[in-house]
Chains A and B, each alone.
Chain A
Amino acid sequence: MYGVHSAVAGMNGMRTAGDLVARMQFAKSMRLPEAKEYVAQKLNVDAMDLADECMMREVREDLGLCTMTENIATPRGIASKMNIEKVLDLKINSCELFRNLSSIV
């Protein structure tokens, strides 16, 4: 069922910028157009391109936001979320916990 929703209507998560738009919906209660516009501005792309795999693969790689397929040079997991914090100007709870536990400032 996820597959059908993803194919016909979804932003498709890390294949594009879906996870980033979702973060703005949850972090700031932004409705969809506002969340897309915010992320597009931060990534310096057009909002129409946020669900474009070709465009977003390059953007995610350049900014270290994690890519869907394995790339040894691209940060993943908690490291990529620390980059997302900077790009989207947010604090992420798991990054805060990681910093507190590891004494990273």
Chain B
Amino acid sequence: MATEYITRMGDGRKVTMTKEEIRADIETGIGEAVDAAEVPELSGDEIDHLLEIVASKEKLVTVEHGKEVVLSLDGGSISIESEHGSGIPCGRINGVVMEERAYCLDVLELAHMDYSYKPVKPLTAVECQTMRQLQEITTTPLLYGAMPNMGLYYTPDGPYENPGDLMKAFKIQEAQDSIEKSAEHLTRDMIWILQKMMKNGGADGANFDTMAAAGDGDFYSALNAIEALRKEYPEMYIEAGMASETVLGIHGELKYDGVNVAGLWPHKQVELVEKAGANVFGPVCNTNTTYSFAWNLARAVTVVKACSENATIPIHVNMGNGVGGIPMFEVPSTDTISRADKAMIEIANVDGI
């Protein structure tokens, strides 16, 4: 009887598989990535290495000495203090100091509980004050983080008519106009907030997190904000992280630097992010809960490796629950996190997580 190895499904459930079954899932996961993202497949040696990582008998696997990478984060201390996170009653300032001194992160982030630029705007002075207090007591690079989250600019939350409602009424041009107006408004807001954060808060820079969450208009808006901020602040640290593996074409015709942004995969997204002026790019590859961890990890590594090879700036791949091959589960298992980290570093050659 063939030896069975403990592994998991994409929803985190523990299962056992033989080496042959794991290899078969790795190969089909790679094939799916090649078809969907139009990227090169992994080599035979890389498949063997991935199999060795997934089928390791140890609960945790680690990278070799000298291959450690930089860890940045999104959400600031929200995951420590908020009720949807750990719920530790510590406040933001203590939370960020814990990021530095307890979790030993290489990059810190201050964020508002609502974690979107729009709700931060009326609170910018308060956010700047907290940033300045933190900058005086921390040593590690400290970014201000928030999501562009362009959905907040549509009715009923915002001033522009919801393009989904317009499309349902076959008002395609009106829907596109609404997306363009929202994108311009969002760009203005992000630039204004981050100008204050740089001038008055002394921030090292900003994290544009979950770009394209509201589709191509969201991504387009963030790229324009990054471009403007880079011109004004040549030394500003800018991290640009994605919401999903592809840019949904809700508008469908928005172009940045002559390139239609709809439908781009990470290896093409990074080219525009670099042109806009970001220093670090955070690609995403989504987890499919109905397939195995091996399938998902192989697919994610294939997509991210192509992005890393095409990039000239550092790549900090998103490795939270439901992305980067990690199962879609609120408390992902340590065995899958460690295997996904090792594979991303040793096969996809990422610069950070």
| Chain A residues within 8 Å of B, Cβ to Cβ | 1-15, 18-19, 21-23, 25-32, 35, 47-48, 51, 65-66, 68, 76-78, 80-81, 84, 91-94, 96-98
Contact = CB atoms under 8 A, between A and B. Distances in A.
Given A3-B103, A32-B352, A98 B202 contact: yes
Interface of chain A, helix or strand or loop or mixed? helix
Interface in B67-81: 68-73, 79
11 contacts: A9-B342, A9-B353, A10-B104, A10-B353, A12-B106, A13-B105, A26-B238, A27-B279, A35-B351, A51-B65, A97-B135
A5 B107 CA distance: 13
A9 B198 contact: no
A21 B106 CA distance: 8
A28 B106 CA distance: 16
Interface string B304-336: 000000011110000111000000000010100
B136 A77 contact: yes
B61 A5 contact: no
Interface stretch (B30-38, B137-145, B172-180, B252-260): B137-145
Interface string B129-154: 00010011111111000000000000
Given A13-B105, A15-B104, A8 B63 contact: yes
B337 interface: yes
Given A25-B351, A78-B136, A4 B338 contact: yes
Interface of chain B, helix or strand or loop or mixed? loop
B90 interface: no
Contacts of B105: 2, 6, 10, 13, 18
Contacts of B61: 8
A25 to B, nearest CB: 4
Contact of B202 (A2, A48, A97): A97
A25 B332 CA distance: 28
A48 B137 CA distance: 29
A25 B353 contact: no
A10 B351 CA distance: 11
A16 to B, nearest CB: 8
B107 A22 contact: yes
Given A22-B141, A32-B70, A9 B351 contact: no
B66 A48 contact: yes
Nearest to B143: A26
Given A15-B104, A92-B204, A8 B138 contact: no
A77 B199 CA distance: 19
A51 B106 CA distance: 11
A25 B140 CA distance: 13
B106 A10 contact: yes
